[in-house]
Structure 1
Amino acid sequence: MREYKNFDEIDRDLTLLKLQKEIDKEKIILSYHQTKESLAPKRLLKNAAGSIFKNALILKGATSVLGFIGDKFGEKD
């Protein structure tokens, strides 16, 4: 526990704590708004569509590569 030598030290710490409290409150508000925005239906649909498109491209690429490899191993010399 901290020992204070005068009231000025106490006032200084109280001021710092008040400012830190305001900063923390603003961080919570910002986090809330970012979360709210990321969970908006429009954003969810956009993210889902992007994931589906990305996975379709990966699947198409993997199928092409595996088909090419299968053709190479299936060839008779």
Structure 2
Amino acid sequence: MNASTQVICSFALTFGVPMVLAVREYWQLGPGPWHLPPNEPIPPDPAPLPDTGASPRYDKPLPACLIPQAAPARVRELA
């Protein structure tokens, strides 16, 4: 086996077999929820969430362990 045949076979085995398996799985999935029959009405968009005025991420205060504390001053000791 010459070098070019070795490279082609290695490439096909490395990338070809996983690609064939991926395409096979893709085709087995079938139509998803985005594929509606022609006479089926399109569902309406969901209603927007009510605005509470503040982000829910900032509604709670930080726990005490996450608030930075001032480091205690170092005391020099003379020996």
Above 0.5 in TM-score?
Answer: no
TM range (shorter): 0.3 to 0.5
Q: What's the TM-score, normalizing by structure 1?
A: 0.33
> Which is richer in helix?
1
